[in-house]
């Protein structure tokens, strides 16, 4: 569903067979009859920072849950071309997930929370220590390993959640509006840090958001979805420099992208209203 | 991975008492002196009233009479207290184990819950003590008392634990599923810790109820001789118009109740003090 005026930077020229995960004509109807997604097709290329942008209720979180295997599509298929799959049809240990809330266990320390995915894989705390401390260092929280979540600020809790998602060294990091509840300053800082992590690790990231600015700042590719039932409305690469930092927020290139994305979002809303 | 610059988006973890000013000594002393003082005034007023109005001892004994009864009748009251205490604690322990175990079974599947919960509710709403005379026909007195005390303490623990097991954060359940956690791992690492505050609330309610049920059941079932608990001694003292001893028995029961409450609260605080809002001091 590529939209015409954005065709100048199509994302279709990517080598398709190498996709990390490919959604084909995926639909999701909930038990109560709500059609969340209909005809969603999307191939996620390795190493890209893809931002799924759309109005709330457009099914972007649902799409993320389908990719993570937390929910099954009612139609269409989800394929993992280059991964070894476990019994559930998922690439075991290759997906990291960051929820809207930090979702930490309050009875565990920061260390205990980040250790969790490894612990569930049968790795002792002593064996896991280097990996856990490395993940904590990656989000700047190494000194807080022994703190309890209630002692941390909202932004720090979110960093713990990111460290936990990174500790298994996933190939694909799924983030579901992770910073929506944070204040603007904490959000900007975390956006910069996530971007830096992405550049350093070569992760593939799918970042769900309803913020045009967040999308424009972070993504190497932006997919705008229509209102429910969600499908891809427009899909374009962002040609801005990869080493974005705080200065990028005031640059003309950034403003051009936000304007373009805002327009695409408005058109997506109109297309949804018309349908 | 290289470290990012240090975090600047919030406050660091605070040592629990580092920021809060230490409570002044005067405040600490007053915290003890005020309630103890009020209690002393009440006891003194009681003594003064009895002395001045010359109420007969078989109607209202003075605090001094009660203290004397406590001292002189210790040989009768102490064994009875031990009987009641043992009954209370055995019932409470059985209720804790049984309530938690059944809650875990109920939480495993909606069908098990559907099948068993009505029975649990029927047993809960039936005044168990009213069935004590019936139980006496089937078993001996001690088993009857234990059954009553157990059933009364059992339900708050069961229903709290079921609520706790069900109140697990859905995102955390998703996270466990995503990590390929087994049912067992999800139970041990997620559901049981999440249910702990609820379980401990059940413990505090159940502890108090176990004592009350142990006493009331003894009233209903009646027991005598060597196996007699405090409830029997209390009734006996009433029949004999030995009010000082009745008051002494009552005070022992109250003291036991307070001790059980303090003990269960302490257990709860020790288990939750690091992480749960109920046990953590609010920052002011």
**How far is it, in rounded angstroms, from Cα B218 to Cα B229?**
7
Closest CB to A150 among B1, B174, B280 = B280
DSSP-based three-state secondary structure for A102: coil
Residues of A with Cβ-Cβ distance to B193 under 8 angstroms: 105, 107-108
Question: Are residues A121 and B185, on separate chains, in Cβ contact within 8 Å?
Answer: no
Mutation pick from A94, A106, A124 vs chain B, by most beta carbons of B within 10 Å, is A106
Q: What is the pLDDT of residues A65-104, one digit of tens each?
A: 999 988 889 998 888 887 777 777 777 778 999 999 999 9
DSSP secondary structure code for residue A46 in this structure = T
Residues in chain B with CB shorter than 8 Å from the CB of A190 are 9
Determine which of A33-37, A144-148, A245-249, B161-165 has the lowest per-residue pLDDT on average.
Answer: A245-249
Q: Tokens for B6? A: 């240090």
Task: State which of A12-16, A124-128, A197-201 shows the largest mean pLDDT.
Answer: A124-128
How would DSSP label each residue in chain B?
-PPPSPP-SSPPPPPTTTSSPPPPHHHHHHHHHHHHHHHHHHHHHHHHHHHHHT--TTT---HHHHHHHHHHTHHHHHHHHHHHHHHHHHHHHHHHHHHHHHHHHHHH-HHHHHHHHHHHHHHHHS-GGGGHHHHHHHS-HHHHHHHHHHHHHHHHHHHHHHHHHHT--HHHHHHHHHTT--HHHHIIIIIHHHHHHHHHHHHHHHHHHHHHHHHHHHHHH---GGG--HHHHHHHHHHTT-HHHHHHHHHHHHHHHHHHHHHHHHHHHHHHTTT-GGGSPPP-
Q: Are B6 and A138 in contact (CB under 8 A)?
A: no
Chain B segment 152-181 residues within 8 A of A by beta carbon are 169, 171-172, 174-181
* Residue-level pLDDT at B9: 42
pTM of structure:
0.81
Q: Which of residues 37-66 of B touch A (CB under 8 A)?
A: none
* pLDDT for residue A162 is more than 90: yes
Per-residue confidence (pLDDT) for residue A242, from 0 to 100: 65
User: Is the model's pLDDT at B257 over the cut of 60?
Assistant: yes
Q: What's chain A's average pLDDT?
A: 85
Q: Does B17 touch chain A (CB under 8 A)?
A: no
Q: For residues A135 and A167, is the Cβ–Cβ distance under 8 A?
A: yes
Residue A248 has pLDDT above 70, yes or no: yes
Q: Which of A95-99, A263-267, B98-102, B259-263 has the lowest mean pLDDT?
A: A263-267
* pLDDT tens digits, A255-269: 888 888 899 888 888
Between A243 and B209, the more confident residue is: B209
Distance, CA of B213 to CA of B206 (rounded, Å) = 10
Q: Model confidence at B22, in pLDDT bands (50, 70, 90)? A: low
Taking alpha carbons only, the member of B78, B84, B92 closest to residue B223 is B84
User: Parallel, antiparallel, or unpaired: how do β-strands A21-29 and A35-44 relate?
Assistant: antiparallel
> Whole-angstrom Cα distance, residue A103 to residue A149?
10
State how far the Cα of B237 lies from the Cα of B35, in Å rounded to an integer. 31
Confidence of residue A205 (pLDDT cuts 50, 70, 90): very high
Q: Which pLDDT score, from 0 to 100, does residue B12 have?
A: 43
Rounded to the nearest integer, the mean pLDDT of chain B is 85
- Size of chain A in residues: 275
Distance CA A219, CA A56 (A): 19
Q: Kindly report which listed range (A28-37, A95-104, A112-121, A134-143) carries the lowest average pLDDT score.
A: A28-37
Q: How far is A235 from chain B (nearest CA, A)?
A: 28
Helix axes B74-108, B63-72, angle to 10 degrees: 90
Chain B residue with Cα closest to A160: B7
Q: What are the structure tokens assigned to A171, written together?
A: 């190939």
Higher pLDDT, A137 or A85: A137
Nearest residue of A to residue B187 by CA position? Answer: A120
């Amino acid at each position: 569903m590529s939209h015409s005026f954005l065709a100048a930077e199509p994302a279709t020229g990517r080598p398709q067979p190498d996709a990390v995960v490919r959604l084909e004509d995926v639909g999701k109807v909930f038990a109560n009859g709500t059609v969340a997604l209909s005809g969603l097709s999307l191939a996620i290329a390795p190493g890209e920072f893809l931002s799924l942008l759309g109005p709330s209720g457009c099914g972007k979180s649902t799409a993320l849950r389908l990719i993570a295997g937390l929910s099954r599509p009612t139609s269409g298929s989800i394929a993992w071309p280059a991964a070894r799959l476990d019994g559930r049809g998922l690439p075991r240990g290759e997906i990291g997930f960051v929820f809207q809330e930090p979702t930490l266990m309050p009875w565990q320390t920061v260390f205990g929370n980040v250790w969790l995915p490894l612990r569930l894989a049968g790795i002792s705390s002593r064996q896991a220590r280097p990996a856990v401390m490395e993940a904590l260092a990656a989000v700047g929280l190494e000194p807080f390993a022994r703190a309890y979540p209630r002692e941390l600020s909202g932004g720090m809790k979110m960093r713990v959640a990111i460290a936990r998602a990174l500790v298994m060294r996933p190939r694909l990091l799924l983030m579901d509006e992770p910073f929506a509840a944070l204040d603007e300053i904490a959000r900007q800082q975390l956006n910069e840090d996530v971007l830096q992590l992405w550049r350093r690790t070569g992760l593939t990231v799918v970042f769900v958001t309803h913020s045009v600015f967040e999308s424009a700042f972070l993504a190497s590719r932006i997919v705008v979805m229509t209102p429910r039932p969600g499908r891809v409305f427009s899909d374009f690469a962002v040609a801005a420099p990869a080493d974005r930092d705080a200065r990028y927020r005031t640059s003309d290139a950034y403003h051009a992208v936000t304007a373009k994305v805002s327009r695409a979002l408005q058109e997506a809303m109109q297309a949804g209203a018309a349908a | 991975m290289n470290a990012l610059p240090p975090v600047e988006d919030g406050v660091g973890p605070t040592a629990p008492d580092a920021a809060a000013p230490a409570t002044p000594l005067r405040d600490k002393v007053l915290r003890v002196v005020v309630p103890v003082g009020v209690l002393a005034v009440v006891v003194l007023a009681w003594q003064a009233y009895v002395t001045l109005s010359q109420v007969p001892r078989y109607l209202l004994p003075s605090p001094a009479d009660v203290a004397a009864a406590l001292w002189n009748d210790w040989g009768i009251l102490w064994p009875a207290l031990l009987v009641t205490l043992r009954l209370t604690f055995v019932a409470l322990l059985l209720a804790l184990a049984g309530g938690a175990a059944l809650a875990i079974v109920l939480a495993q599947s909606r069908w098990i819950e559907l099948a068993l919960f009505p029975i649990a509710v029927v047993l809960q709403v039936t005044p168990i003590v009213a069935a004590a005379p019936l139980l006496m026909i089937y078993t001996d007195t001690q088993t009857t008392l234990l059954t009553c005390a157990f059933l009364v303490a059992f339900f708050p623990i069961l229903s709290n634990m079921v609520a706790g097991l069900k109140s697990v954060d859905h995102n955390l359940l998703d996270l466990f599923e995503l990590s390929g956690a087994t049912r067992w791992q999800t139970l041990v690492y997620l559901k049981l810790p999440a249910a702990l505050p609820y379980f401990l609330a059940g413990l505090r309610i159940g502890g108090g109820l176990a004592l009350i049920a142990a006493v009331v059941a003894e009233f209903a079932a009646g027991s005598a001789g060597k196996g007699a608990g405090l409830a029997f001694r209390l009734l006996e003292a009433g029949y004999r118009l030995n009010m000082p001893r009745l008051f002494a028995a009552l005070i022992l029961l109250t003291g036991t109740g307070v001790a059980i409450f303090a003990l269960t609260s302490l257990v709860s605080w020790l288990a939750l003090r690091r992480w749960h809002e109920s046990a953590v001091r609010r920052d002011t």
